[in-house]
Chain A
Amino acid sequence: MATNAESGDDELQFRDPEKAEQLTDELEALMAEIGEPVNVMHVCGSHEQAIAKFGLRSILPDDLTVRMGPGCPVCVTNMPEVDEAVALAEEGKIVTTYGDMFRVPGTEKSLADARDEGADVRVVYSASEAAEIAEEEPDREVIFFATGFETTAAPTAAVLTSDPPENFSVLSAHKYVPPAMEVVAEMPDTDVDGFLAAGHAATITGYGLFEDFVEEYDTPAVVGGFEPIDVLYALARLLEFIRDDEAGLENAYPRCVSREGNVPAKQQLWEVFDTTSGEWRGIAEIPDANLVLSEDYAHFDARERFDIAVDPGAADPLTEECICGDIMAGKADPDECDLFGEECTPQDPVGACMVSSEGTCKIWLEYGGQPDL
């Protein structure tokens, strides 16, 4: 890896070996005080990436396990949602979506497969780019297959409140994180002692949102950034709470996250979206965690506008063997999946966790199975 000649080591906090060592010593000491194994869960693909990329698991105390949770909105998008997007594309409409979503398999095919067969599917990098396509193609229906948590739902909302073209609509697969944390916290066999909450989603919603959660589930939570030092620091704060048997909440990512979050963005978000219950792929039916367009914006709702004829063909029998759901609920590791790296690869993914750059299976494969460098 290239070194950055201009910035000295001391400026690069997370590379600062001294600081990293201090933190790992602190973690060891805290674990000794706690005196029993601890399971914490993160709910952010970016956390898994930081942990894997920098080999953090190898420097963590042995009896501290960091589990991955439902941290990637691509991974938790349910297959029938992909099927809806595919069906619209196959009807000759223009379907736009983020790059991460493009290759995620639906029941029978992905949007990439549909495009190979001639459908007009376009990868965009923002919701506004999708609306621009609608402007350029006034005679076509342009659908934005919208995925992501709060951080991308707020931009989708911004586009809808700024008067997009008539031929533009949204197929929302947006998801809202906090209810999913509640469901996971309640799963009897998940056994989480504390949560490392997702820094980026909290940029929008603010960490204040977790106050009720912490109290109700009697589980501490720390909002953490995704640079290695941030992760180590957040883990240390979490272990302190666990040691003190305190269901506390701390913001260890003040660089990006405030208590209130981004207030105007939140207002827009809740003007445009309502929550509804729905299935998170492989995990469970989660109450109030799917974002759908509110009544005022129903005319931009692709589900209202079109009669989406989803015809789920026979599901790939391999998907039955995919354990993505267990992985995201913190019950299993990718290498426990029989398909891992064999039948299921980033080039030919069976489950969504192998597709996205922050999907746990892809990360583990990329960094050599169990990324315990």
Chain B
Amino acid sequence: MCLGIPGEIIEIDGQEARAEFWDVEKTVRIDVVDEAVEVGDHILNHAGFAIRKIPDEEVEETMEIYESFLEGDEDEALEEIGAGEGEQLGIEGR
């Protein structure tokens, strides 16, 4: 539960947002994030909550680092974002 996973906000509804984590869509709460977030922003999801907005200039690097880190270890990431059975992260190259 300590692994933060980065995702992209695709829809906001009050304190809840839909975020996409490599094709897997999940609801995250955005009320403890450190800054206002908008659709298109990337956030670090931690146990269903966005805990940090990833600065735009760091998004690409952050996503790449995570892609490599999660390779071969997707189960934990899936558990972390509350994905259901059979869902898979669409990480490039797998």
Q: Is the CB of B2 within 8 A of A44?
A: yes
User: Of B34, B72, B91, which one neighbours A262 at CB under 8 angstroms?
Assistant: B34
- Is the CB–CB distance between B65 and A12 below 8 Å? yes
Number of interface residues of A (CB under 8 A): 55
Look across to chain B and name the residue whose beta carbon is closest to the beta carbon of A154: B32
Q: Closest CB of chain A to B61's CB: distance in Å?
A: 7
A147/B1 in contact, CB under 8 A: yes
Instruction: Report how far A364 CA is from B49 CA in the complex, Å.
Output: 30
Given A128-B29, A129-B82, A227-B69, residue A200 in contact with residue B2 (CB < 8 A): yes
Chain B residues numbered 62-92 whose CB sits less than 8 Å from any CB in chain A? 62, 64-65, 67-69, 71-73, 76, 79-82, 91-92
A4 within 8 A of B: yes
Q: In the complex, A128 Cα to B49 Cα: how many Å?
A: 9
* Partner of A99 from B15, B29, B79 at Cβ < 8 Å: B79
Contact B72 A1, beta carbon cutoff 8 Å: yes
- Would you call B4 an interface residue if the criterion is a C-beta within 8 Å of the partner chain's C-beta atoms? yes
CA distance A73 to B69 in the complex (A): 21
* Contacting residues, chain B, for A44 (C-beta < 8 A): 2
Number of A-B contacts defined by CB within 8 Å: 136
- Least distance between A77 CB and chain B CB atoms (Å): 12
Q: Which residues of A contact B46 (CB under 8 A)?
A: 151-152, 155, 200, 203
Contacts of B24 in A (CB 8 A): none
B19 to chain A, nearest CB (A): 12
In the complex, whether A148 has a CB less than 8 A from a CB of chain B is yes
Chain B proximity of A42: nearest CB distance (Å) = 13
A290 to B84, CA, bound (A): 32
| Interface range for B | 35 or more
Say whether B68 contacts A203, CB under 8 Å.
no
A305 interfacial contact with B, CB 8 Å: no
Cα distance A185–B94 in the bound complex, in angstroms: 43
- In Å, the complex CA distance between A152 and B45 comes to 11
Query: Beyond A4-B67, A265-B32, is A98–B47 a contact (Cβ under 8 Å)?
Result: yes
B48 touches A129 (CB 8 A): yes
Residues of A near B15 (CB, < 8 A) are 162
Q: Closest chain B residue to A267 by CB distance?
A: B32
A40 at the interface (CB under 8 A from B): no
* CA–CA, A67 and B79, complex, Å: 27
Whether B58 sits at the interface, judged by CB under 8 Å, is yes
* CB nearest to A45 among chain B residues: B2
- B71–chain A nearest beta-carbon distance, Å: 6
- Report A-chain residues with C-beta under 8 Å of the C-beta of B49: 126-128, 154-155, 158
The closest CB in chain B to the CB of A261 belongs to B34
Docked-complex contact A162 and B31, CB < 8 angstroms: yes
Query: Complex formed: what's the CA distance from A44 to B1 in Å?
Result: 12
Q: Is the CB of A128 within 8 A of B92?
A: no
A232 interface residue, CB < 8 Å from B?
no
0/1 per residue, A88-101, Cβ < 8 Å to B? 00000000001110
Residues of A near any B CB (own CB < 8 A): 1-7, 11-15, 44-46, 50, 53, 72-74, 98-100, 124-129, 147-149, 151-152, 154-155, 157-158, 162, 200-201, 203-204, 226-227, 255-256, 261-265, 268, 357-358
User: Can you spell out 30 A-B residue pairs with CB atoms less than 8 angstroms apart?
Assistant: A1-B72, A5-B92, A5-B93, A6-B92, A6-B93, A7-B64, A12-B64, A12-B65, A44-B2, A46-B3, A73-B1, A98-B47, A124-B82, A127-B48, A129-B82, A148-B47, A149-B2, A151-B2, A151-B46, A151-B51, A152-B46, A154-B32, A155-B47, A155-B48, A157-B32, A158-B29, A255-B62, A265-B32, A268-B32, A358-B2
